[in-house]
């Protein structure tokens, strides 16, 4: 929605209530996207993922795995009041990033730690070898 305020602001017959009502109708968003850096390191079958999430509490982080997709969601909430509690500013910033992981990752033993605004995930390869089964093809005898 695009509103041209210039004619209204410079029109002497426009009252202030009209201008304020225009600002009330303007689209706004108190949700911001957190653009965080991440790093992935691999060492001997162990993967470490670090995601910068400054100002995010561990209670506001959700990590899930669905169909080999590791998803990290986080939300940073901030509320600022003035000295006399007359004005309150609230802001919410959201973060979401997904990583495709191998089916060899041991999803039952993924560790997550939040320290100094950095989320650290440790993923390791499942040590259990998948059993390989050989299937023999049987020959059907021809009836003569």
Q: What is the domain partition of the chain in residue ranges?
A: 29-124
Say which CATH architecture domain 29-124 belongs to. Answer: Sandwich (2.60)
51 in helix, strand or coil?
strand
Give the pLDDT of residue 112: 95
Whether the CB-CB separation of 38 and 97 falls below 8 Å is answered with: yes
Please state, for a pLDDT cut of 70, what percent of the chain lies above it: 68
Please state, for a pLDDT cut of 90, what percent of the chain lies above it: 28
- Of 65, 63, 90, 97, give the one whose Cα is nearest residue 76: 90
**The pTM is what?**
0.61
Whether the CB-CB separation of 54 and 35 falls below 8 Å is answered with: no
32 vs 9, higher pLDDT: 32
Which pLDDT band holds residue 87 (cuts at 50, 70, 90)?
A: low
Which pLDDT band holds residue 55 (cuts at 50, 70, 90)?
A: confident
For residues 84-94, average pLDDT: 73
- Of 12, 28, 19, give the one whose Cα is nearest residue 4: 19
Query: What does the DSSP 8-state code read for residue 105?
Result: B
Whether the CB-CB separation of 30 and 88 falls below 8 Å is answered with: no
Q: In b/e form, how buried is each residue of 28-51, taking b as 16+ CB within 10 angstroms?
A: eeeeeebebeeeeeeeeeebebbb
For residues 12-18, average pLDDT: 50
Which pLDDT band holds residue 25 (cuts at 50, 70, 90)?
A: very low
With 70 as the cut, is the pLDDT of residue 110 above it? Answer: yes
HSE value, Cβ hemisphere, 13 Å, CA-based, for 79: 4
Cα 30 from Cα 75, distance rounded (Å):
12
For residues 57-80, average pLDDT: 89
Whether the CB-CB separation of 78 and 91 falls below 8 Å is answered with: yes
Rg, the chain, Cα only: 28
């Amino acid at each position: 929605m695009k509103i041209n305020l210039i004619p209204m602001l410079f029109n002497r017959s426009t009252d202030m209530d009209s201008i304020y009502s225009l600002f009330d109708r303007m689209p706004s968003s108190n949700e911001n996207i957190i653009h965080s850096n991440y790093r992935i390191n691999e060492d001997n079958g162990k993967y470490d993922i670090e995601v910068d999430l400054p100002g995010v509490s561990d209670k506001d982080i959700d990590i899930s795995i669905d169909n080999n997709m590791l998803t990290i969601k986080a939300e940073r909430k901030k509320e600022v009041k003035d000295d006399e509690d007359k004005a309150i500013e609230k802001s919410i910033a959201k973060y979401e990033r997904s990583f495709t992981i191998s089916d060899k990752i041991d999803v039952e033993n993924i560790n997550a730690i939040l320290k100094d605004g950095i989320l650290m995930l440790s993923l390791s390869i499942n040590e259990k070898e998948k059993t390989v089964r050989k299937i023999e093809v049987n020959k059907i005898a021809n009836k003569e």
